[in-house]
Every structure is written in structure tokens, then in C-alpha cells.
Amino acid sequence: DPPYGNNYLDLVLHQAFNCDFIKKDSMVICEHSLDLEIKKNNLWKIIDVRDYGQSRLTFLINIQHS
């Protein structure tokens, strides 16, 4: 969620996907700036990326927890 310039996205995603609140195959939709790319990870799989104006939505699926 805006404002985008605070560089917390990587930390927040790792904490969210490492907890037991997000079950396997759950979808997380992350809103971020166009110039930020979420990299592949062993915790999630990127299934879609959509641009809307100056924002980007990245759709992630949890692949770690059961």
C-alpha cells in the first residue's frame, strides 16, 4: 500500500510467508510501485503481475506451508 518509498516490502513478504497464518496455495496480492520487482523465492510463486497507472499488483501463491 502507498507510500511506496519505504523499502519494507521484502521484509513484510518474508514475515508473512514464514508465519502459519497463510496456508499453502493461499494467494497474496501485493501492491507496489512499477519500478519494484518482486523476485522469485522458495516461499512463494508469482502467478500474475498487473500494472494500473503508477501501481503494480503482484499475485503470489504460498508454496511452503501445508
Task: Report which of residues 28 and 65 the model is more confident about.
Answer: 28
Whether the per-residue pLDDT at 28 is higher than 90: the answer is yes
Cα separation, 4 vs 44, in Å, equals 21
pLDDT at 49: 97
What's the predicted TM-score (pTM) here?
0.83
Q: Which one, of 64, 56, 63, 18, lies nearest residue 37 by Cα?
A: 56
pLDDT at 5: 64
Q: Which one, of 7, 65, 63, 64, lies nearest residue 38 by Cα?
A: 7
Q: Average pLDDT in the 44-48 region?
A: 95
Cα separation, 5 vs 42, in Å, equals 25
pLDDT at 56: 94
Whether the per-residue pLDDT at 1 is higher than 90: the answer is no
